[in-house]
Amino acid sequence: MGRKYVKHVLVIFIFLVIPGILAYYWIYADKPIKDMGRTAVDFSGYHWERTALERFVDRHFIQDGFVRTNLVDTEQGELASGEDFLSESAGLLMLYYLKQDDREKFDREVHLLTTHFFNGNQLFKWRIRPGVNRETVNSTVDDLRIVKALLLAAEKWGRTDYRVLAAKLSVRLLNHCVTGNALRAYDSPHSPEAPFVYYDFAAMQRMGEFNRKWSTLAKVNMEKILRRQIKGLPLFKDDWFAKDNAFPTVENLMVLMHLSEAGVKDPESLQWLKEQLKRKGLFGKYSMKGKPLNSVESPAIYAITAIIAKLNGDEELYGLAAERLKGMQNLVDGEYYGGFIDLKQLSAFSFDQLLALLAY
């Protein structure tokens, strides 16, 4: 009886259990793990588009590590254009090289920043242009992004020099870009309080290792921003941008991105984004009730949404956003193949390209 029982168990195990295990791994082994908090899930499937975009950026935007702002060099006053080089672009590129595990190019960006971008406070000028030295102030959000990239690189590659530089920048930012429990927009006593989009909470949380003031700033302002969120929507009542109840999408999605990166879950906003993407897409401005106020789409909107999806481990949202992003990419053979570009005016912005690289 005992031998027959064992034999029956073995038969059941061989013909039922083992096939079940194999089927499970066949279906799910390549699926991303959900709810990973601060770590972005790497959804595969867009390698070709990313490679084409990277080649386009290398050909048309990057020269010796410097990143053009726009292919077209037009005079836009206070706005960056053409051959202007931004600390914003350097920080985004650092995050991309970190993602690609490219230490050499990451080092190149750090060298460029510390050689060409330092201002009188030893923070990074928000813009430089060859032969012109008109800028003196930083942009606090861009410096926070750079510090975050340095700390992530120090952790990933064991680089103590990056950590030392990040620690020095942390002190300078506290001294010149913080008033009470608020960030300044730039390093001047005359600077206004920074808008919500400037609060890079993941950077501030990491900088809490150097000074607990950063942890306090992150906590206080995260609570403030969440209190000012419109229920069920990725829109935040910020006096900087919410004028006439018109909410710019890029800035508000970047606030949601910073919250997601710090581990804040917002399933209602993610669901709203999915609903819009399944309908007509996402547009440049929304009302307080979540109604589009224009019909302007941009690669940046879809790239930020895809990044938010990765941070939340939401494969459905990622697919919807990435397909919209791909739909705006120039994938017709030619000189500008792979880029996000208006072929009639040859207008293409580094902000769109670099965010898309991080999204793919």
Cα separation of 148 and 131, whole Å? 30
pLDDT value at residue 256: 98
- What's the whole-number mean pLDDT along residues 118-144? 91
pLDDT value at residue 359: 98
The residue count for the chain: 360
Let me know: does 172 contact 122? Beta carbons within 8 Å: yes
Phi, psi of 229 (to 5 degrees): -80, 140
Let me know: does 98 contact 145? Beta carbons within 8 Å: no
Cα separation of 72 and 306, whole Å? 27
Phi, psi of 179 (to 5 degrees): -130, 115
Per-residue pLDDT at 107 exceeds 50? yes
Model pLDDT for residues 217-236, shown as the tens digit of each residue:
999 999 999 999 999 999 99
- Supply 73's token pair: 């060099």
Q: Are strands 62-63 and 247-248 parallel, antiparallel or unpaired?
A: unpaired
Q: What residues does each domain of the chain span?
A: 31-43+231-360
**Block residue for tokens 């079940």:** 20
Model pLDDT for residues 12-45, shown as the tens digit of each residue:
444 443 444 334 333 333 333 333 335 577 777 8
Q: Which of 289, 285, 309, 288 is nearest to 298 (CA)?
A: 285
The CATH code belonging to domain 31-43+231-360 is 1.50.10.10
pLDDT value at residue 222: 98
- What's the whole-number mean pLDDT along residues 97-114? 97
Model pLDDT for residues 45-84, shown as the tens digit of each residue:
899 999 999 999 999 999 888 999 998 765 545 555 557 8
Cα separation of 320 and 50, whole Å? 17
Model pLDDT for residues 295-332, shown as the tens digit of each residue:
999 999 999 999 999 999 999 999 999 999 999 999 99
Per-residue pLDDT at 7 exceeds 50? no
